[in-house]
Amino acid sequence: MIKAVTRMLGLLMVVMLVSQTSYAQDKNVTFQLDLTTVIDSCAFDVEGDIASVNGSFNGWTAEVDTLMDGDGDGIYTKTIAFNENDTLAYKFWLSPAALLWEDNLPTPSTNREYIVGADTDQTIEVATYNKTVSDQCGAMAFPVEIAFQVNLGPQILAGEFDPEAQEVLIAGPFSGWGGTTDTLESQAGFNDSLYANFVTISDFSVGDTIPFKYITKDVEGTIGWENLAPETPNTGGNRFYIITGNEVDDDGDTIPEAILDPVFYADLAYSDLVLFSQETTITLEVDVRPAYYHLADSGFVPSDTQTGDSVFTFAGVFANGPYIAGDWVSWGPDGLGQRTDLQLLDDGTGGDAVAGDSIFTLQVVKAVNGLREGIIKYGLDGWDNESGFGADRNVLVADEAATTVHTIFGLVRRADGKLTDDVGPSAGGGDFTLAWDPYILVDNGTDPPSAVVVRSGGEADGTNTSVDPIDGEVPSSITLSANYPNPFNPSTTFEYSIASAQHVKVRVLNLIGQTVATLVDEVQPASNYQVTFDAGSLSSGVYVYQIETS
């Protein structure tokens, strides 16, 4: 039988409270969006346009959870049932092509965020649509022909784009952000690596901002998106064109034209390339023990980022991303999970050093002048469940004839070279950003940064904790004392007692139930114990500490 005692501790300026964990179901959360300003600008038609709330709970899919204005006051609402402590990430979406997604918000995830509380009925305060909307009243929408131009020379040189097997397209609200139309044509004879074409854009007005991206598509229909690093906030990683009204009809077809300057695909210029000087065999190694440990401790692995689908077991590990697959292969068991050429093995073959050691391996060969740097992401059974949207792994490979790139599942090397393990997926109404953190210890103070897999306690990155027996009578029951001092900075002390030898787990959790430190996880004899916990690496706030025995 499992017994648990829970208390709360405050770091810095919060006092201690007593708490019991609650798992109540069906908390009705009402979202509210004030569209009066958008409606008054004539950018949103109340008769035909649609507003919806899209987020981790519905796979970020538009028009699934539509908002309605039942009383005509311009406040659109939608009520959805969640579980207590669910962490919601979401944005509002409007159907007019000039609007669509809100701009990024000033939050760590760039999304709106809400943690579901204990009340049966909850209403989030009224929000306004977070995007600049130009006045459309009296404005005339008219078509514009835009000449899009993109250079894929660096990708061709590095073997990341094959002109014979792939094509280039333009995507934006004018195409529903799809990749089936608006193909750009090779300008062979003028510039073999340049792709360009005129695309007619309709239903936009002077002053409208049109977002777009260049994409690639192979013969199997796999789409590859530009991976841009925006230089200005609220861009969403897109390129933009603003209709000025000064476009000129040079070809006499009554439709004005705008010719955009050529850009490099993904803003990767020739001077940015880091290339191999020789043919190189790369052995990719991934230590998947964090996934096994999470499965053993929780009975599941984090949900798929793309769909929110739950994953309760896995049998294979697959690699995805432009560096290893040329483009992003469609996630899922029926997509990436079918690509045996992208499957890592742990059977002692294909470069795998030891069968059954939980280190999965895949060997690939890069040609002379191939890229040494790129993006890779791993998935269990082909699911996108290693990290969240955009939290991809940047790899930099040594310029050697044979080299090994070793990493840990759930550990991401950022573009600045630092390592992080708090980028787990957030999908399906659940937040698993710290899913792998308990099983990985990161040290960015070494050169280069390093990390190791641990069975537990990885979440205490950079912290020091001591647990010592206290002399005295054998206790008659399980107890957990209040911590002192409280509030504290950076360390605090508390005591606990167990009346018989048993397995003891002492954890520190945040207020949404995520483990941030495991202080004890072992069989201990009956005794009184004193714990000194150093929380120097944690943010200020309220934390729960809990003892469980079994």
Judge whether 79 and 29 are in contact, CB under 8 Å: yes
**Looking at the whole model, is its pTM more than 0.85?**
no
For residue 232, pLDDT beyond 50: no
pLDDT at 140: 56
DSSP assignment of 306-320 = TT---B-----EEEE
For residue 424, pLDDT beyond 70: yes
356: left (phi over 0), alpha (psi -120 to 50) or beta: left
Average pLDDT over residues 87-98: 87
pLDDT at 169: 93
Instruction: State in Å, rounded, how far the first CA of the chain is from the last one.
Output: 6
pLDDT at 492: 86
DSSP assignment of 331-398 = PSTTTGGG-GGGEEB-SS-TT-SSTTSSEEEEEEEE-TT-BSEEEEEEEETT-S-SS-TT-PEEEE--
Judge whether 486 and 529 are in contact, CB under 8 Å: no
For residue 22, pLDDT beyond 60: no
For residue 367, pLDDT beyond 70: yes
**What is the bridge-based pairing of β-strands 209-218 and 112-115?**
unpaired
Judge whether 204 and 134 are in contact, CB under 8 Å: no
DSSP assignment of 460-501 = GTT--EEEEEE-SPPPSS-EEPPPBSSSBSSEEEEEEEESSS
Q: What's the chain's average pLDDT?
A: 82
Judge whether 259 and 248 are in contact, CB under 8 Å: no
Q: Residue 483, CB half-sphere, CA atoms under 13 Å: how many? A: 32
Question: Given pLDDT bands bounded at 50, 70 and 90, which one contains residue 231?
Answer: very low
Other C-beta atoms lying within 10 Å of the C-beta of residue 199:
19
> 425 in helix, strand or coil?
coil
pLDDT at 158: 72
pLDDT at 337: 94
For residue 347, pLDDT beyond 80: yes
Q: How far is CA 332 from the centre of its chain?
A: 16
Phi and psi at residue 357, to the nearest 5°: -95, 10
Q: Which residue in 454, 351, 342, 347 sits closest to 408, CA to CA? A: 454
Question: Given pLDDT bands bounded at 50, 70 and 90, which one contains residue 126?
Answer: very high
pLDDT at 404: 94
pLDDT at 80: 93
pLDDT at 275: 86
Q: At which residue do the structure tokens 């209403």 appear?
A: 123
Where exactly are the structural domains of the chain? 23-128, 142-269, 280-455, 460-549
H or E stretch covering 546: strand 541-549
- Residue 404 sits at the vertex; the CA angle it makes with 401 and 409, to the nearest 5 degrees, is 155
Question: Given pLDDT bands bounded at 50, 70 and 90, which one contains residue 382?
Answer: very high
For residue 400, pLDDT beyond 90: yes
Q: How far is CA 155 from the centre of its chain?
A: 25
Residue 37 β-bridge partners: none
What CATH code would you report for 460-549? 2.60.40
Judge whether 37 and 130 are in contact, CB under 8 Å: no
The topology under which CATH files domain 23-128 is: Immunoglobulin-like (2.60.40)
- Residues in CB range of 148: below 8 A, 6 or more apart: 170, 184, 196, 197, 199, 212, 214, 260
Q: What whole-number distance in Å separates Cα of residue 174 and Cα of residue 199?
A: 9
Least confident segment among 73-87, 258-272, 303-317: 303-317
- Number of residues written out for the chain: 550
Architecture in CATH of 142-269: Sandwich (2.60)
Least confident segment among 123-132, 145-154, 363-372, 411-420: 411-420
For residue 480, pLDDT beyond 80: yes
For the CA atoms of 370, 375, 381, 382, the dihedral, rounded to the nearest 10 degrees, stands at -90
Peptide bond into 211 cis (omega under 30): no
Average pLDDT over residues 437-465: 72
Most confident of 265-269, 380-384, 413-417: 380-384
Domains 142-269 and 460-549 belong to one CATH topology: yes
The 3-state DSSP composition of the chain as helix, strand, coil percent (nearest 5) reads 10, 40, 50
Q: At which residue do the structure tokens 């069989």 appear?
A: 523
> 479 in helix, strand or coil?
strand
The amino acid at residue 189 is G
Residue 7 β-bridge partners: 545
Question: Given pLDDT bands bounded at 50, 70 and 90, which one contains residue 462?
Answer: very low
> 285 in helix, strand or coil?
strand
For residues 242-263, one letter each, b for 16 or more C-beta atoms within 10 angstroms of the residue's C-beta and e for the rest, the string is ebeeebeeeeeeebbbbeeebe
Q: Which residue in 258, 238, 242 sits closest to 171, CA to CA? A: 238
Superfamily classification of domain 280-455: Immunoglobulins (2.60.40.10)
Judge whether 525 and 501 are in contact, CB under 8 Å: yes
Most confident of 27-41, 89-103, 214-228: 27-41
pLDDT at 19: 33
Q: What whole-number distance in Å separates Cα of residue 89 and Cα of residue 22?
A: 21
- Residues in CB range of 505: below 8 A, 6 or more apart: 518, 520, 521, 547, 548, 549
- Residues in CB range of 61: below 8 A, 6 or more apart: 54
Question: Given pLDDT bands bounded at 50, 70 and 90, which one contains residue 8?
Answer: low
pLDDT digits (tens, 9 = 90+) for 434-444: 788 888 888 87
